[in-house]
Amino acid sequence: MAEYILAKENGRNIPQEDKIFGISNRAKKAIAEKGAGRVINATIGSLLDDNGELVVLSSVAAVFKQLSPKDYADYAPIGGIASFKEAVQKSAFGAHRPDGFVEAVATPGGTGSLRNVISNYSVFGDKVLTSDWHWAPYNTIAGELGRSVDTFEFFTAQRTFNAAAFHAKVSQLLDVQESLVVILNTPAHNPTGYSLTLSDWDQVVDALCGAAKCGKAIALVIDAAYIDFAGDEEEYRRFLPKLSKLPENVLPIMAYSLSKTFTLYGTRCGAMICIAKTKAIADEFRRVCEYSSRGSWSNSAKVAQVILSKIYSDPELLGKVGKERAHYRDMLLARSRAFEEEARLVGLETVPFDAGFFLSIPCDNPDEISAKLEQQDVFIVPLAKGLRVSVASISEEKCRRLPALIKAAMA
């Protein structure tokens, strides 16, 4: 437990070192000393090519290079520039725009959207609900705002989405609090790679329709950070029209990010997009979220907003970006298939996986196993319930080698 000298703890537990950055730094050191070929660094959450270099879509980079100083130096309006607000809806919804009153507010990445939802759709002390396997910063964001995270069991013993556990936890929390924020990270969930199926979505919608009868406010966040790396971009948006079935007091909000989809991680751009049943709810959404933005980061950076606007105003360029992304998505999918094939061969169990940057291996002693693997220059991330492997950051050849190494370390 850290000793506070001048800073205030305020109910948070701030570690001396971020665990993932710590491992990642040790991996980088090993690479510097021994060479990239001798080290497996499966800790990084960005898409890297087979040489360990960051993948940047050249079609997107070309737009960047043609920008004028005003495109990147000027302030954007708090809620985002108008052309971005339009373009980002097209990008988020594709051909599956749900019915409803839609408003988009620019945010610094998906992270900003998550922060603004929690700040505006829950109250101090509330529990925010997500799956037991989840992206750790949800806890940090909730904690910064005086909330905490509660979880439901993501999978049944039959390796399917645990709709009963979801339903039970939603009801339990609504019994004791006046509002509820639910975060579902799908498709291509971090850290498991699971994508909710259309029938999983039917169960989620049914559960929320039932729970909403109490009349309390529910915000359903679809954290779609990896949506464009799951597989066919339209196929993976087919769940969206189902959101229109939700009643007035359940507000679906898509946390959309340009980080992965357009390889613009560092430009910090995303949007929170609501699909409301009434204009009043949509207008309120825009008002409260813009207010929160003003009080946290103020304006979001303009540069990626302009880039997205330019991409969506030029069909040929949009096609080029889509084609280039598909190439890298295929590379990523080939890596995860290679990992899965080898895992089956060596008898290594994985958590139900569909697609994406990561997959997970359940185990009881993740810290011990990852420390053992580090001794062989294999770096993966220990989580509460297992180990996370980033197939986004290692070659297909390393993906093939890794399952046997993990299996041996677990023996």
Under rule CB under 6 A, residue 352 binds ligand PLP: no
HSE-up of residue 145 (Cα within 13 Å, Cβ side):
26
**Between helices 109-121 and 137-144, what is the axis angle to 10°?**
40
Q: Does 233 bind ligand PLP (CB under 6 A)?
A: no
User: Are 325 and 311 in contact, with CB atoms under 8 Å apart?
Assistant: no
Contact flag: residue 366 with ligand PLP (CB under 6 A): no
Q: How far is the CB of 106 from ligand PLP (least distance, A)?
A: 12
Binding of ligand PLP by 192 (CB under 6 A): no
Residue 79 found at the interface with ligand PLP (CB under 6 A): no
Site pattern 20..59 for ligand PLP (x: CB under 6 A): -------------------------x--------------
Q: Which helix (H) or strand (E) holds 281?
A: helix 279-294
Who contacts 396 (Cβ-Cβ below 8 Å, separation ≥6)? 50, 331, 334, 335, 338
Binding string, residues 206-225; x marks residues near ligand PLP by CB under 6 A:
-----------------x-x
Residue 398 to residue 384: CA distance in whole angstroms: 25
The pattern of x and - marking residues 247 through 286 that bind ligand PLP according to CB under 6 A reads: ----------x-x-----x----x----------------
- Check if the beta carbon of residue 228 is closer than 8 Å to that of residue 325: yes
Rounded CA-CA distance 232/96 in Å is 13
Burial (Cβ within 10 Å: 0-12, 13-18, ≥19) of residue 83: middle
CA gap 411, 407 in Å, rounded = 6
Q: Which is nearer to ligand PLP, 108 or 211 (CB)?
A: 108
Residues 135-154 that bind ligand PLP (CB under 6 A): 135
Window 90 to 109, contacts with ligand PLP (CB under 6 A): 109
Question: Which residue in the set 185, 192, 263, 309 belongs to the binding site for ligand PLP (CB under 6 A)?
Answer: 185
Mark 311-340 with x for binding to ligand PLP (rule: CB under 6 A) and - for no binding.
------------------------------
User: How many angstroms separate the CA atoms of 273 and 318, rounded?
Assistant: 21
Binding of ligand PLP at residue 119 (CB under 6 A)? no
Give residues in contact with ligand PLP (CB under 6 A). Answer: 45, 109-111, 135, 185, 190, 223, 225, 257, 259, 265, 270
